[in-house]
């Protein structure tokens, strides 16, 4: 079993879209970030549940990510993931059926699951065949039920479980530094999109990973 010392030297970036954005502006911002840094995956994570809004956003981001060979997943909307030809789905409720999503999207699709701060939910999702489990919020954030995912959860997971893990929600430089040895990915979104220069902000967070 891998120990934290066997983990990658530096976690990868899992980029999360803002909950709402301008179609004329955000794809360009995203392209600028993707052109400068290595990103493993992008998640379309809009607050809207309007299919037309989601479809147009998905089409716009897919153009950007496909050109750069970066995976694009969408939160919860399995049907749109299929219709828009995205790479997979991110389930925000651990009780939702991972197996159903896997069956619908096929073995090559990415199926991930947000599990809050629950080690149990993470293990259930892992047994159901997810490609990654996401824990959070790590810091102060509106994510999940407010229970924070502590560093020891990531430490335990990295020692005991082989399913890749994402740390997300309320990330700061100090939190990134403390969790970097124990996580495979950092889910970064609001931490950079609210900044005047998202690219500079993500580079600051990345320096704390090494």
Name the β-bridge partners of 166.
134, 185
* pLDDT at residue 5 tops 60: no
Structural domain containing residue 183:
4-207
* pLDDT at residue 205 tops 70: yes
pTM above 0.85?
Answer: yes
User: Burial code of 16-54, b = ≥16 C-beta within 10 A, e = fewer?
Assistant: bbbeebeeeebbebbbebbeeeebbbbbbbbeeeeeeeb
List the single range of 19-23, 47-51, 146-150 with lowest mean pLDDT. Answer: 146-150
Confidence at 163, pLDDT banded by 50, 70, 90: very high
Name the β-bridge partners of 111.
89
On average, the pLDDT of the chain sits at 93
* pLDDT at residue 2 tops 50: no
Residue 112 belongs to domain with CATH number? 3.20.20.70
Distance between CA 200 and CA 210 in Å, rounded? 16
* pLDDT at residue 207 tops 90: yes
Write down the pLDDT at residue 94.
Answer: 73
Distance between CA 175 and CA 188 in Å, rounded? 12
| Rounded-to-10 torsion of CA 151, 169, 52, 95 | 40
Confidence at 8, pLDDT banded by 50, 70, 90: low
| Number of domains observed in the structure of the chain | 1
pLDDT digits (tens, 9 = 90+) for 62-117: 999 999 999 999 999 999 999 999 999 999 987 778 999 999 999 999 999 999 99
Site of tokens 């530096």:
10
More confident: 4 or 50: 50
Write down the pLDDT at residue 4.
Answer: 40
> Between the CA of residue 86 and those of 33, 34, 105, 110, 126, what are the distances in Å?
20, 17, 10, 9, 22
Retrieve residue 92's tokens.
Answer: 């925000």
> Between the CA of residue 48 and those of 36, 61, 88, 189, 201, what are the distances in Å?
29, 16, 18, 16, 26
* pLDDT at residue 3 tops 60: no
* pLDDT at residue 6 tops 60: no
* pLDDT at residue 143 tops 90: no
* pLDDT at residue 7 tops 60: no
Write down the pLDDT at residue 166.
Answer: 98
pLDDT digits (tens, 9 = 90+) for 117-142: 999 999 999 999 999 999 999 998 87
Percent of the chain whose pLDDT exceeds 70? 95
């Amino acid at each position: 079993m891998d120990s934290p010392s066997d983990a990658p030297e530096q976690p990868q970036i899992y980029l999360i879209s803002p909950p709402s954005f301008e179609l004329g502006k955000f794809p360009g911002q995203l392209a600028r970030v993707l052109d400068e840094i290595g990103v493993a995956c992008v998640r379309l994570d809009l607050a809207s549940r309007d299919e037309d809004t989601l479809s147009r956003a998905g089409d716009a981001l897919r153009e950007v990510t496909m050109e750069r060979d970066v995976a694009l997943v969408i939160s919860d909307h399995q049907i749109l993931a299929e219709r828009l030809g995205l790479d997979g789905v991110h389930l925000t409720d651990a009780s939702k059926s991972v197996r159903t999503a896997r069956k619908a999207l096929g073995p090559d699709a990415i199926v991930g699951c947000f599990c809050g701060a629950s080690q149990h939910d993470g293990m259930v999702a892992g047994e159901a065949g997810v490609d990654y489990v996401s824990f959070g919020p790590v810091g102060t954030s509106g994510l999940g039920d407010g229970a924070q995912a502590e560093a020891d959860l990531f430490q335990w997971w990295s020692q005991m479980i082989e399913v890749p893990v994402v740390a997300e929600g309320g990330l700061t430089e100090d939190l990134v530094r403390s969790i970097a040895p124990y996580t495979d990915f950092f889910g970064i979104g609001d931490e950079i999109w609210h900044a005047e220069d998202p690219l500079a902000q993500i580079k600051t967070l990345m320096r704390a990973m090494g």
